[in-house]
Structure 1
Amino acid sequence: RNLYKALVEAYDADKTILDTYGESAIIKRIREEDDDQEEPFAGSDRGSKRRREGGGHASASTPSEPATGSTG
């Protein structure tokens, strides 16, 4: 019974969104679903890039932190 209620609520929400936004909501949703399906494969690559970029940003921000701490 709770599952049915949740299904009806989801349907009503989708219907409201479609009535309000029309085709743009459908296109956006399809793109998000495509991204979700590709994420596990691309996610590992993205994570390693973020770590590399994060390390560079962390070292760049480290010198500025003591400078702002000494002035303030």
Structure 2
Amino acid sequence: MNNNTNNNLLIANQWQLERKLGSGSFGDVYRALNTQTGEHVAIKLEANNTYSLQLAFEAKLYKLMNGIQ
């Protein structure tokens, strides 16, 4: 995806991608809107063919940091 993300793209019928914030070795990070709560968040997307456990590791780490087991 490019920096001018289609604002109509919904992830899991909840997250509306707004714009690309950056990219790295394991994926691209986007600013997104939670269409149910109005909260803005950052979402990291990896390519489907990426063989990496990085995203799963990061999700677990963020849950631990927020006290969610």
TM class, shorter-chain normalised? under 0.3
Structure with max Cα Rg: 1
TM-score normalised according to structure 2 size: 0.27
The structure carrying a bigger strand percent of its residues is: 2
Answer 1 or 2: higher relative contact order, Cα 8 Å, separation at least 6.
2
| TM-score, normalization by structure 1 | 0.26
